[in-house]
Structure 1
């Protein structure tokens, strides 16, 4: 939630002060990192949700549509969607069912693996994700609330954290710096 008036004190700085005062100085920095990142995620997600609401899309539904739209044929195996979005298969299956219900994708049997499924973007899904992307670019992504140097530094820091957590093996080849 975004408040109309800023708080007189940074609650995360106060939480860190309290952590130290209660004898948890060794964990205070980590607590501040975790809660800061989680608060930033809340702020960004609120902006994304507000932007996607007119399109009746959650960010999860948008991500599936956008990933399919990026593929050459608008079709990917369900397992590839799971791997690329780094979300549990059950979550993607549930999201895909809603997208199928809304006529934005179709689920088809894989031509070479009877156990697998293909997700394919419909024309309606492609049109919707293009409109939603234009809105997200204009209302969120073009100005995430950081200047370009801070944005690049934040992305690099989070990439190191993700790599250390096993998110990916090696970021090379990397895209051009942001």
Structure 2
């Protein structure tokens, strides 16, 4: 992946300086946090997308294939996929449409709920998910750009922020802390 030319100054630090200069002292730390997290997301997403490009996958399609691969039978209701991936049902429908067109999933009627549809992983979808995961592990996840201690600290901080925002509840029994 081609690197973008480094800027001579950190634009987020400059934005913080401007916020402070304009008297928005109470808002400056929050603005810095929000823009820093959003920029970090852009950087990570670019790495993920570059890794998935040879597989002709978007991150949304990869996530759905892998979610299905982690289920016992390689299938789940579309509504469950929407909830687990935390995306709108329309997004899941569009993702399933693309994966179905490429032969990686198919739809089946739910055996117990006539209103529901199951997404079913095909053998080609399972194999694609396995290959894409191996590439992501090697090219992105094993070296996300921070050392292990910093990674663990950042994940813990973000998990606390998500929990406090109502993103999830702690399950009982609780898993190992992030």
Task: Please indicate, yes or no, whether the TM-score normalized by the shorter chain is above 0.5.
Answer: yes
Once the two structures are TM-superposed, the CA of residue 126 in structure 1 deviates from its matched residue by 0.5
Alignment of 1:35-114 (within 5 A): 35-114=35-114
TM-score under structure 2 normalisation? Answer: 0.95
Q: Counterpart in 2 of 1:12?
A: 12
Residue aligned with 1:119, SS = strand
**TM-fit CA distance, 1:24:** 1.1
Task: Give unpaired runs (5+ residues) of structure 2.
Answer: none
Q: For 1:134 and 1:123, how far apart are their aligned partners in 2?
A: 17
The runs of 5 or more residues in structure 1 that have no matched partner are none
Q: Provide the alpha-carbon RMSD of the alignment.
A: 1.6
CA deviation vs aligned residue, 1:150-175 (integer Å, no higher than 9, x gap): 00010000001111111101255454
Contact 1:76–1:118 (Cα < 8 Å) also in 2: yes
- Report the TM-score when normalising by structure 1: 0.95
Cα distance in structure 2, aligned partners of 1:3 and 1:75: 39
Q: CA deviation at 1:3?
A: 4.6
Deviation of 1:148 (Å): 0.5
**Matched-pair contact (CA < 8 Å) for 1:152–1:177:** no
Matches within 5 A, 1:125-164: 125-164=125-164
**Alpha-carbon distance change, 41 to 172 in structure 1, aligned in 2, over 3 angstroms:** farther
> CA–CA distance in 2 between the matches of 1:176 and 1:143?
22
Runs of 4+ in 1 over 3 A off after TM superposition: 1-5, 171-178
Structure 2 CA distance for partners of 1:3 and 1:171, relative to 1, 3 Å: farther
Hey, what's the Cα distance between the residues in 2 that align with 1:86 and 1:125?
Answer: 21
Aligned pairs, number: 178
